Amino acid sequence: MKDLLTVPTLHSENELGHAAQFTLALARSFGAQLTALITEIEPGLPSPPVEPDNMQGGVEAHKPLSASERLTRIASLVRGAAALAGVPCAMLQEERGSSSLRKVLIDNACVRDLVTLDVFGPLRYPRQGLVEAVLFGTGRPIILVPAAAGSLIDGRILIAWDATRSAARALHDALPLLKLARQVVVISVIDDKDFPESFTGKDLCRYLYRWDIDARFEIARRGSLTVGAALLDCARRIEADLLVMGGFGHAFERELMFGSATRDIFQSAIELPILLSH
């Protein structure tokens, strides 16, 4: 990995959101550049809460940042954090009116190794629309980063395997991350389909071993849960630091009829980073 794209946000007025911090750690591990797209995904949202200054009791309440001030603050914090981490950094300033944010993101993601984006509970538009734009418009993976994200370095990674094209794409996109992992677990939720013998998780583990990745295979049944909920339950059980899965891996008609594991994930309170590829 040589160039990682993130759309940074503010966690507080003086702290970057978790996606930017997560991406900086990855960039440092791979000796890669961090590219930050400085923009507002949800224009009009209020500034992050400001910590009260208990030493200045009579001081007037702090004025919230304007939109332009927020973007300036984000850019400044990214530059400072990148310099501190020793990570090369490039800034992309999205200008409203020149073209849609969706198009700007697609154009820039196409020439990067992956995209990261903060998530705050279940995905909603316009943020969900940007996730779908990366999945369907770029051929690049995206990692959804919640507030509880930990480090992938020497962590535990769960691979959701259902022998679809998108699952295979996600697996190959995640190979550089899998090589950093302490433990890799491949899991197949088998209630709804029969897997061809040539596409078993054990075969996948043998393939990963050729990449010097030691993985084990598990079978899971979802029972009364959705497939997405079953995968998140497995991730919690093994204390995974990343879930790797295909994004919208089935035919459109099947998704309309039976639902989609990806849609299940979008509607969940995401608690760990999730790598999606299509």
10, two tokens: 């503010």
CB atoms near residue 76 (< 10 Å): 11
Does 3-45+67-145 match 156-276 in CATH topology?
yes
- Determine the Cα–Cα distance for residues 136 and 116; give it in Å rounded to an integer: 15
Higher per-residue pLDDT: 52 or 193? 193
Architecture of domain 3-45+67-145: 3-Layer(aba) Sandwich (3.40)
Mean of per-residue pLDDT scores for the chain:
87
CB 183 within 8 A of CB 156: yes
CB 3 within 8 A of CB 113: yes
CB 109 within 8 A of CB 5: yes
Domain ranges of the chain: 3-45+67-145, 156-276
pTM: 0.89
- CB neighbours of 170 closer than 8 A, spacing ≥ 6? 141, 159, 160, 244, 245, 246, 247, 275, 276, 277
Class assignment of domain 156-276? Answer: alpha beta
- The proportion of the chain whose per-residue pLDDT surpasses 90, expressed as a percent, equals 65
Amino acid sitting at position 82: A
> Among 79-93, 128-142, 168-182, 245-259, whose mean pLDDT is lowest?
245-259
pLDDT at 196 over 70: no
- Determine the Cα–Cα distance for residues 164 and 2; give it in Å rounded to an integer: 27
pLDDT at 251: 47
Per-residue pLDDT reduced to its tens digit, 78-129: 999 999 999 999 999 876 545 699 999 999 999 999 999 999 989 999 999 9
Phi, psi of 10 (to 5 degrees): -100, 130
pLDDT at 249 over 60: no
CB 5 within 8 A of CB 35: yes
Q: C-alpha angle with apex 141: 68 to 163, nearest 5 degrees? A: 155
